[in-house]
C-alpha cells in the first residue's frame, strides 16, 4: 500500500499513512480486512515485486474483501459507526474499479457514514471532530472524493457533498496529516499534502457547479437569471481558487518547488520540455490547470481555446507538457483516471480539427498511449462517454476528433477508476 510513484513528496505521505492504517487495523476487524483486501489487490498487479504469485494475491483479495463486506453490513445494521468503518468503505471503493454499480453503492454508503459522523460530533456540541476520529474521517473523505470525481466524469453528477472552503479548512487538513504522519513528515511535506487536498476540493466543487449548470440549462424554465447565477458561481469559484493558490505559492514555492537541476529532453510536440527538477511541483500545477480548464468550460460551454482571458490553450499546453515529461508514466490506480480526464479536457481546449488540430491529435495520442489494456471500453467509447455524461461540458461531434477512430485494435481502457 505504500508503493506510490517514485516521488519524495508522495513517499513522505504514503509510508507513514500505511503504518498508521496497519496500526489502527489491528483493533478494528472491518478495517483490517478492507486494508488487506486493497493490499492484496495492489500486489496482484505489481509488475515488479509481487510478494506472492498473482493467483494467490487475488485469492487473498477476494477472501478479505468478502469478510470486509460482511462486517460493513453488520456495522451498518447495528449502527456501530465510526472512523474505521468510514475508511473501510473508502478502501473498498478502490477494489471496485471495474464495477460502477457496486462502486455507486459504496459511494452512497460512504456519504451516509461521513454525514453521520459529522452530525454526531455536532450533537455532542463539538465544533471539531474528536482527535481519534479526525484522521480517519479526513482520510476517508480524501480517498472518496477522488473516486467521486471519477464517477462524475462517466456517470454524471457527483455523490459526496461538497466541502465549503472555510477559514479552518487548512487547519483541519494540517492537523490530521500531522497526527497521522507524526515526525516522519516535515513541514514541506505537510504543505505539499495540503496543496493537493485543497486543489482536489476545488475540483470537486467545480463538478458540483457543473451539475447545477447542467440542471439549469436543461430546464424548460431556463432564463437569463439562471445563466447569471451560473456565471456568478463560476466567478466566485475562480476567485477563491486564484486567491488561495497565489497565497500558497508565494509562501511555499521556494521550499516545495526547488530541487537540484536535471535535464529532460522529452517534449510535447516542439514545445520546450518541462525541466525534470520541477516534476514534483507539476503534480500540484496540473491539478490547478485542470480546475481552471473545467471552470472555463462550465462558464463558456464551447469547444476550442475560448476567449483570450480564459487562457485555455495555455492551461492545456502546460498539462500536456507536464504529463509527457513525467519520468514514471505508470500512474497509480488512484491517479490514472484523473490523468486521462485531464488530457480529455486538453483535447476540448485545443478544439480538434476546427482549431489547433496538431495539438489536439497529440493529446488524443497521449490518451491512447497512457490507457490501460483491461478496462472494458475503447479509447473512443470512453472519450464520448466523458463528453456525454460529464456535467458542464460542450457537445462534440465525431468529425472534430477523427483520430479517435483509427485506434487499430481499439485499445481497451478502464470504464472508470
Distance CA(99)–CA(155), nearest Å, equals 12
More confident residue, 366 or 24: 366
Q: Is the pLDDT of residue 277 over 60?
A: no
SS3 content of the chain, % helix, strand, coil (to 5): 70, 0, 30
Rounded to two decimals, the pTM is 0.86
Q: Is the pLDDT of residue 416 over 50?
A: no
Where does the pLDDT of residue 73 fall: very low under 50, low under 70, confident under 90, or very high at 90 and above? very high
Q: Which DSSP string do the residues of 104-161 spell out, in sequence order?
A: HHHHHHHHHHHHHHHHHHHHTT-SS--TTTHHHHHHHHHHHHHHHHHHHHHHSS--SP
More confident residue, 344 or 335: 344
More confident residue, 189 or 348: 348
DSSP secondary structure letter of residue 378: E
More confident residue, 322 or 413: 322
Per-residue pLDDT at 5: 46
More confident residue, 116 or 369: 116
List, for residues 191-232, the tens digit of each pLDDT value. Answer: 878 888 889 999 999 999 999 999 999 999 999 999 999 999
DSSP reduced 3-state for 351? coil
Where does the pLDDT of residue 292 fall: very low under 50, low under 70, confident under 90, or very high at 90 and above? very high
Per-residue pLDDT at 376: 59
- Lowest-pLDDT range, 69-78, 165-174, 248-257, 393-402? 248-257
Per-residue pLDDT at 359: 96
Contact 282, 197 (CB under 8 A): no
More confident residue, 130 or 88: 88
More confident residue, 360 or 46: 360
Rounded mean pLDDT of 395-402? Answer: 88
Q: Is the pLDDT of residue 4 over 60?
A: no
Q: Is the pLDDT of residue 410 over 50?
A: no
Where does the pLDDT of residue 114 fall: very low under 50, low under 70, confident under 90, or very high at 90 and above? very high
Distance CA(411)–CA(377), nearest Å, equals 8
Rounded mean pLDDT of 366-381? Answer: 72
Apex 117 CA angle, 417 and 187, nearest 5:
70
Distance CA(147)–CA(107), nearest Å, equals 8
List, for residues 148-185, the tens digit of each pLDDT value. Answer: 998 888 888 999 999 877 777 888 888 888 888 887 77
Q: Is the pLDDT of residue 335 over 60?
A: no
Q: Is the pLDDT of residue 398 over 90?
A: no
Per-residue pLDDT at 273: 83
Per-residue pLDDT at 77: 92
Distance CA(264)–CA(262), nearest Å, equals 7
- In this structure, the number of other CB atoms found within 10 A of the CB of residue 42 comes to 18
Where does the pLDDT of residue 123 fall: very low under 50, low under 70, confident under 90, or very high at 90 and above? low
Per-residue pLDDT at 2: 59
* C-alpha grid cell, residue 115: 454525514
Where does the pLDDT of residue 271 fall: very low under 50, low under 70, confident under 90, or very high at 90 and above? very high
List, for residues 10-66, the tens digit of each pLDDT value. Answer: 666 777 887 888 888 888 999 999 989 988 888 887 777 778 889 999 999 999 999
Q: Which DSSP string do the residues of 281-320 spell out, in sequence order?
A: HHHHHHHHHHHHHHHHHHHS--SSS-SGGG-HHHHHHHHH
Average pLDDT across the chain, whole number: 82
How far apart, in Å, are the Cα atoms of 374 and each of 15, 97, 152, 377? 28, 11, 21, 9
Per-residue pLDDT at 124: 57
Q: Is the pLDDT of residue 381 over 90?
A: no
Amino acid at each position: 500500500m505504500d508503493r506510490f510513484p517514485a516521488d519524495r513528496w508522495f513517499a513522505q505521505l504514503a509510508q507513514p499513512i500505511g503504518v498508521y492504517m496497519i496500526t489502527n487495523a489491528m483493533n478494528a476487524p472491518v478495517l483490517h480486512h478492507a486494508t488487506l483486501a486493497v493490499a492484496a489487490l495492489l500486489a496482484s498487479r505489481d509488475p515488479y515485486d509481487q510478494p506472492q504469485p498473482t493467483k494467490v494475491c487475488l485469492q487473498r483479495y477476494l477472501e478479505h474483501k468478502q469478510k470486509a463486506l460482511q462486517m460493513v453490513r453488520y456495522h451498518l445494521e447495528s449502527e456501530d459507526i465510526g472512523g474505521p468503518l468510514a475508511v473501510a468503505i473508502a478502501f473498498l471503493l478502490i477494489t471496485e474499479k471495474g464495477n460502477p454499480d457496486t462502486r455507486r453503492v459504496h459511494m452512497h454508503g460512504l456519504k451516509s457514514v461521513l454525514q453521520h459522523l459529522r452530525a454526531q460530533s455536532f450533537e455532542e456540541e463539538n465544533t471539531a471532530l474528536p482527535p481519534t476520529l479526525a484522521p480517519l474521517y479526513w482520510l476517508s473523505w480524501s480517498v472518496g472524493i477522488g473516486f467521486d470525481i471519477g464517477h462524475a466524469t462517466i456517470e454524471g453528477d457527483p455523490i459526496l457533498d461538497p466541502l465549503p472552503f472555510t477559514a479552518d479548512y487548512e487547519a483541519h487538513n494540517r492537523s490530521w496529516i500531522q497526527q497521522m504522519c507524526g515526525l516522519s513528515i516535515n513541514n514541506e511535506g505537510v504543505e505539499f499534502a495540503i496543496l493537493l487536498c485543497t486543489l482536489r476540493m476545488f475540483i470537486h466543487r467545480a463538478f458540483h457547479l457543473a451539475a447545477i449548470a447542467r440542471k439549469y440549462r436543461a430546464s424548460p424554465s431556463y432564463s437569463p437569471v439562471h445563466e447569471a447565477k451560473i456565471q456568478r458561481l463560476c466567478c466566485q469559484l475562480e476567485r477563491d481558487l486564484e486567491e488561495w493558490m497565489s497565497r500558497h505559492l508565494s509562501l511555499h514555492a521556494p521550499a516545495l518547488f526547488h530541487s537540484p537541476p536535471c535535464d529532460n529532453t522529452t517534449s510535447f510536440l516542439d514545445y520546450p520540455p518541462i525541466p525534470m527538477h520541477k516534476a514534483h511541483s507539476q503534480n500540484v500545477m496540473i491539478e490547478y490547470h485542470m480546475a481552471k480548464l473545467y471552470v472555463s468550460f462550465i462558464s463558456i460551454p464551447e469547444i476550442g481555446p475560448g476567449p483570450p482571458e480564459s487562457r485555455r490553450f495555455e492551461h492545456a499546453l502546460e498539462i500536456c507538457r507536464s504529463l509527457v515529461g513525467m519520468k514514471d508514466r505508470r500512474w497509480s490506480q488512484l491517479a490514472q483516471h484523473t490523468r486521462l480526464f485531464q488530457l480529455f479536457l486538453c483535447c476540448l481546449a485545443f478544439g480538434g480539427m476546427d482549431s489547433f488540430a496538431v495539438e489536439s491529435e497529440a493529446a488524443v495520442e497521449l490518451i491512447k498511449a497512457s490507457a490501460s489494456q483491461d478496462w472494458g471500453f475503447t479509447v473512443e467509447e470512453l472519450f464520448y462517454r466523458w463528453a456525454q455524461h460529464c456535467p458542464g461540458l460542450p457537445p462534440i461531434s465525431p468529425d472534430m476528433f477523427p483520430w479517435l477512430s483509427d485506434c487499430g485494435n481499439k485499445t481497451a481502457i478502464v470504464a472508470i477508476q
